[in-house]
Amino acid sequence: MNQIFGTSTLFAVALLAFSTIHVLWFALIVLFIYGRAMSSSNIAALAYVQLNTPRNRLGRVFSLYTIVFRVGPAIGAFLFGALAERTNLDTAGLAFGAVGLAITLAIAAAVLRSMRPV
């Protein structure tokens, strides 16, 4: 669980950083970190689902997981493009990075608080 939240946080922070950088070589390094964090987060989330889902429901859970992780990025890309068209790419990247970071931290706080022993 910590790996999911850690890499998701790095993912959002890297987007924020990438949106503010205008030096190509540094932007490429941040983009590499962004891609690694995104991949690590997705792999950790998929492993968590596989390891914590009852075997008799795994197919149903995977179909829902697939819908969320296929449709979600497509809708996000559409919204990102719409925002970038109205403002600019830097503003859209900063907005999406900030919202992603806020949502990640809020979910992490809620999940970790619920896992705390009573």
100-113 residue pLDDT tens: 999 999 999 998 88
pLDDT in the model for residue 113 = 87
Q: How many residues make up the chain in this entry?
A: 118
Q: What is the pTM of this model?
A: 0.81
Inter-residue contact 3 to 44 (CB < 8 Å) = yes
pLDDT in the model for residue 7 = 93
| pLDDT tops 90 at residue 1 | no
In terms of residue numbers, what domain contains 36?
2-115
pLDDT in the model for residue 118 = 63
First-last CA distance in the chain: 19
Inter-residue contact 18 to 106 (CB < 8 Å) = no
Q: What is the pLDDT of residues 44-86, one digit of tens each?
A: 988 998 898 999 998 899 899 889 888 988 999 999 999 999 9
Q: What percent of the chain has pLDDT over 90?
A: 71
Inter-residue contact 1 to 17 (CB < 8 Å) = no
| Domain total of the chain | 1
Return the amino acid letter for 90: D
